Amino acid sequence: MCPNVALLEYEITLKSRGRSFSQVRRALACLKKIFIDYSIHEVSSLNTDSLLLHLDPVEEHGLSFFNSLIAASALRTDETIVSDGKAFDKVKELKRIPISGKKV
């Protein structure tokens, strides 16, 4: 699963690093193909429940704005994060699977 808030962060990051709209469009199209090829489902997780829930990881664990939204999305779905971001380890309810394949 991929929460829509992770996709939003991805697009904002690309734009903030100077990528053109055509480059962002290509990157998102490639990501969509990966989702199709690997049967990864996009999850619409941004709503008032997730916005309320995301405040806890910010206050309690110091997670960034987007990391806390991603954590809240995971807490509302399968409680799993695929990321090398060790900040997610602070949220005990989450299981983090590293992208790099290193043990957590």
pLDDT value of position 102: 65
Listed by start position, the domains of the chain span 2-43, 48-97
pLDDT value of position 2: 86
- Residues 9, 22: Cα–Cα separation, whole Å: 17
When pLDDT is averaged across residues 25-43 and rounded to a whole number, the result is: 92
- Residues 28, 25: Cα–Cα separation, whole Å: 5
pLDDT in tens, 83-104: 899 999 999 999 998 888 666 5
pLDDT in tens, 38-58: 898 898 888 899 899 899 888
HEC per residue, the chain? CEEHHHHHHHHHHHHHCCCCHHHHHHHHHHHHHHHHHCCCCEECCCCHHHHHHHHHHHHHHCCCHHHHHHHHHHHHCCCEEECCCHHHHHCCCCEEECCCCCCC
Q: What distances in angstroms separate CA 60 from CA 31, 64, 71, 77, 104, one per listed residue?
A: 32, 11, 13, 20, 21
The pTM assigned to this predicted structure is 0.76
User: Residue 13: phi, psi to the nearest 5?
Assistant: -65, -45
